[in-house]
Amino acid sequence: MTISSSLNAGIAGLTANASRLASISDNIANSSTYGYKRVQTDFHSMVISSSGGTYSAGGVRSTTQRLIDQRGPLVSTSNPTDLAVRGRGMLPVAKASQVISGNGTPEMLLATTGSFRTDANGYLTSESGLVLLGWPALPDGSIPSYPRDTADGLEPVQINVNQFTGEPTTKMNLGVNLPATDTEFDAAGDTQELSVEYFDNLGKSEGIKVEFVPTVPASGASNEWTMILRDTGSADAIVGEYTMTFDESRASGGTLLSVTSTTGGTYDPVTGAMIITVAGGPIEVSIGKIGESDGITQLSDRFAPVSISKDGTPVGNMTSVEVDANGFVHAFFDTGITRTIYQVPLVDLPNPNGMVAMDQQTYKPSPESGSYFLWNASEGPTGDVVAYAREESATDVAGELTAMIQTQRAYSSNAKVIQTVDEMLQETTNIKR
């Protein structure tokens, strides 16, 4: 019984060390695999209760665990959609085959890094066939409220590199100086004209023609102008007419004193703006607050458009895509505008090492890993997303080679135990002679 238990223990030792050697060889083979998580093999003794003066060897058994929470070093790249997670959290991905087939919602897998580029369908896909998942943004770039304990709201990140986009003009600031001499009794009463471009809902260029007509009094100075706004998109129809009176006091000379509306939206003295309606919709036109010199003024004898600004852009073509540290996917256009099109969350679990390991350095949540939650990157327990970077393998080759030497010696020692038991059994057999 005791001799046979020694034999069984030796065999168990060979099996356990063979398993450890297999994990070591797997780690070394993947020492250059991006995002690889090393496998660790542990030994556990098996004790068989004994009585009297004899002892029965219980042997050993081995268990393996993939250390998914152990991160490798980050290395920089030149691709803006090479992504890595710095800190806790994982990127949601799906198999490209499931995405392209369109048979229901693709299964969410998790990865800590990936080199993503657009495929033939515009999906951000890695070289191993994984598609990045994210929450789609609304047309204004905001991210709606999505469920955080399920992957139902996630969609494959699809980039239309041939996409055209434009933003209509909704705000306009007029910083103009009107000549104070034009409102004196002996002035010629010439109309000052200005044209300001804006972009309509289809990205077309239109214009608001602004006419400043001075009020010439019979004597003295009126300090009064009539501002007429015409929309080229409405066949030069008048969309606003306002009477402006300017202050001539020592403290606030040249600033607006009052604005009276004839047609168009009412002037708001709190914001210094009025809303006019052009062919494509309303536009907020700011001319400055009462008593302040941040808009239209009346000074000196010169007409000068000092500062004219507006929002909106013409139609532009998408040129590139980048992901920021908070997981927002930004599309850049050749007109200089940037638009948020997706948000990539980071998935966190109580026990990352309890997930099921899949191919291509991906992992699937399991009952052992606990329930997952989708966080905004850099919030809660999660880290941030690093673009232009990949995560290298977590394998330490020097440590694995050292463990290989230890495993080889242990394997040889267990083999020697089996050889010794064989010799002892042979001696026992020879007693009969």
Say if residues 290 and 269 touch (Cβ distance below 8 Å): yes
| Predicted local distance difference test score (pLDDT) of residue 1 | 56
Ordered per-residue pLDDT tens for the chain, 433 residues? 577 788 888 899 999 999 999 999 999 999 999 999 999 999 998 887 666 667 778 789 999 999 999 999 999 999 999 999 999 999 999 999 999 887 778 999 999 999 999 999 999 999 999 999 999 999 888 999 999 999 999 999 999 876 777 789 999 999 999 999 999 999 999 999 999 999 998 888 999 999 999 999 999 999 999 999 999 999 999 999 999 999 999 999 999 999 999 999 999 999 999 999 999 899 999 999 999 999 999 999 999 999 999 998 888 888 889 999 999 999 998 888 888 999 999 999 999 999 999 999 999 999 999 999 999 999 999 999 999 999 999 999 999 999 999 999 999 999 999 999 888 888 888 887 6
pLDDT recorded at residue 331 = 92
pLDDT for the residue numbered 51: 65
> What is the rounded distance in angstroms from the CA atom of residue 55 to the CA atom of residue 69?
41
Q: What is the pLDDT of residue 49?
A: 66
pLDDT digit string (tens) for 278-313? Answer: 998 999 999 999 999 999 999 999 999 999 999 988
Q: How far is CA 215 from CA 12, 185, 188, 260, in A?
A: 106, 9, 10, 14
Residues 6 or more apart from 59 whose CB is under 8 A from it?
Answer: 5, 8, 9, 11, 12, 13, 45, 46
Q: Give the integer Cα–Cα distance in Å for 121 and 411.
A: 53
Distances (CA, A) of 416 to 10, 231, 427: 8, 97, 17
Please give the Cα distance from 298 to 176 (Å, whole number). 8
Residue-level pLDDT at 337: 83
Mean pLDDT across the chain, nearest whole number? 92
Q: What pLDDT does 278 receive?
A: 96
- Domain ranges within the chain, ordered by starting residue: 2-67+394-430, 77-162+337-391, 169-311
**pLDDT in the model for residue 58:** 79
Distance CA 335, CA 318 (A): 9
Candidates 3.30.1240.10, 2.60.98.20, 3.40.190.290, 1.10.3720.10; CATH matching 169-311: 2.60.98.20
CB 258 within 8 A of CB 290: yes
57 within 8 A of 45, measured Cβ to Cβ: no
